[in-house]
Chain A
Amino acid sequence: MINEQEIDHLAKLARITISDTLRARLLGDLNSILKYIDQLSAINTDKVEPLLQVNEIQNETRPDTTEGRIKSKDSLLVGQSPHHEDKYTKVRAIKVR
Chain B
Amino acid sequence: MKPISGHTILSARRAFEKGETTPQKLFDEYRSRIEKENPALNAFLNTKEFPFNKSDKKETSQLSGIPYAAKDNLLVKGTIATGGSKILENYQSAYDAEAITRLADSGAQLLGKTNMDEFAMGSSGENSAYGPTKNPHNHECVPGGSSAGSAAAVAADLCVFALGSDTGGSIRQPAAFCGVVGFKPSYGRVSRHGLMALASSLDQIGPLTKNVDDAALVFSAISGKDIYDSTTVNQDASDVFNNLHDDVSGLRIGVPEEYFGDGLSDEVRNSVEKAIDKLIVRGAKIVHISLPHSNAALAAYYIIQPSETSANLARYDGIRYGFSDPSAESLTEVYTQSRAKGFGPEVTRRIILGTFALSAGYFDAYYLKAQRIRTLIRRDFDEAFKKCDVIMGPTTPTAAFRIGEKSDDPLSMYLSDIYTVPVNLAGIPAISIPCTIGDKTNMPVGLQIIGPMMKDETLLRVAWYAEQALLNE
Q: Do A and B bind each other?
A: yes
Q: Which of B27-35, B48-56, B237-245, B347-355 contacts A (4 or more CB under 8 A)?
A: B347-355
8 Å CB contacts to A: which residues of B84-136? 91-96, 101
Q: Say yes or no: A36 contacts B378, CB within 8 Å.
A: no
Q: Which of B213-221, B255-263, B363-371, B387-395 contacts A (4 or more CB under 8 A)?
A: B363-371
Alpha-carbon distance between A39 and B345 when the two chains are bound, in angstroms: 25
Q: Say yes or no: A76 contacts B355, CB within 8 Å.
A: no
Q: Say yes or no: A40 contacts B231, CB within 8 Å.
A: no
Q: Say yes or no: B231 contacts A57, CB within 8 Å.
A: yes
Alpha-carbon distance between A91 and B335 when the two chains are bound, in angstroms: 11
Size of chain A's interface in residues, with CB distance under 8 A?
Answer: 56
Q: Say yes or no: A49 contacts B410, CB within 8 Å.
A: no
8 Å CB contacts to A: which residues of B308-367? 310, 314, 317-322, 324, 328-337, 339-340, 343, 345, 348-349, 351-353, 355-356, 359, 366
Q: How far is the CB of A68 from chain B (nearest CB, A)?
A: 8
Set B93, B349, B371: member contacting A30, Cβ < 8 A: B349
Residue of B293, B333, B343, B355 ringed by the most chain A CB atoms within 10 A: B355
Q: Say yes or no: A48 contacts B453, CB within 8 Å.
A: no
Q: Say yes or no: B329 contacts A36, CB within 8 Å.
A: no
Alpha-carbon distance between A80 and B337 when the two chains are bound, in angstroms: 19
Residues of B within 8 A of A36 (CB): 298-299, 302, 411
8 Å CB contacts to B: which residues of A34-67? 36-37, 39-41, 43, 45, 48-55, 57, 59-62
Q: Say yes or no: A51 contacts B349, CB within 8 Å.
A: no
With contacts A13-B355, A37-B366, A77-B94 taken as known, whether A22 is within 8 angstroms of B348 at the C-beta atoms is yes
B281 at the interface (CB under 8 A from A): no
Alpha-carbon distance between A95 and B329 when the two chains are bound, in angstroms: 10
Q: Say yes or no: B356 contacts A10, CB within 8 Å.
A: yes
8 Å CB contacts to A: which residues of B375-397? 375-376, 378
Residue of A10, A14, A95 ringed by the most chain B CB atoms within 10 A: A14
Q: How far is the CB of B200 from chain A (nearest CB, A)?
A: 10
Set B233, B352, B376: member contacting A11, Cβ < 8 A: B352
Q: Say yes or no: A81 contacts B321, CB within 8 Å.
A: yes
B399 at the interface (CB under 8 A from A): no
Residues of B within 8 A of A62 (CB): 227-228, 230
Contacts between the two chains (Cβ within 8 Å), count: 176
B187 at the interface (CB under 8 A from A): yes
8 Å CB contacts to A: which residues of B416-473? 425-427, 453-454
Q: Say yes or no: A37 contacts B302, CB within 8 Å.
A: yes
Alpha-carbon distance between A16 and B348 when the two chains are bound, in angstroms: 8
Set B78, B299, B333, B337: member contacting A40, Cβ < 8 A: B299
With contacts A43-B296, A48-B372, A55-B453 taken as known, whether A89 is within 8 angstroms of B355 at the C-beta atoms is no
B188 at the interface (CB under 8 A from A): yes
Set A15, A48, A69: member contacting B336, Cβ < 8 A: A15
With contacts A26-B352, A57-B233, A70-B95 taken as known, whether A39 is within 8 angstroms of B375 at the C-beta atoms is no
Q: Say yes or no: A96 contacts B330, CB within 8 Å.
A: yes
Q: How far is the CB of B126 from chain A (nearest CB, A)?
A: 16
Residues of A within 8 A of B298 (CB): 36
Q: Say yes or no: B371 contacts A51, CB within 8 Å.
A: yes
Chain A residue nearest to B329 in the complex (CB): A96
Give the interface of B toward A (CB within 8 A).
77-78, 91-96, 101, 186-188, 201, 227-228, 230-231, 233, 293, 295-296, 298-300, 302-303, 310, 314, 317-322, 324, 328-337, 339-340, 343, 345, 348-349, 351-353, 355-356, 359, 366, 368-376, 378, 410-411, 414, 425-427, 453-454
User: Other CB < 8 Å A-B pairs besides A41-B369, A57-B231, 16 of them?
Assistant: A14-B351, A33-B410, A36-B411, A40-B370, A43-B293, A45-B372, A54-B187, A54-B426, A57-B230, A57-B233, A69-B95, A76-B78, A76-B92, A78-B320, A81-B319, A94-B330
Closest 8 CB pairs of A and B: A54-B427, A50-B371, A82-B324, A45-B372, A80-B321, A51-B374, A17-B340, A15-B335
17 contacts across the A-B interface (CB closer than 8 A): A16-B351, A30-B349, A30-B352, A30-B353, A33-B302, A37-B299, A39-B295, A39-B299, A40-B373, A50-B375, A51-B372, A68-B228, A72-B94, A80-B91, A82-B318, A92-B329, A96-B330
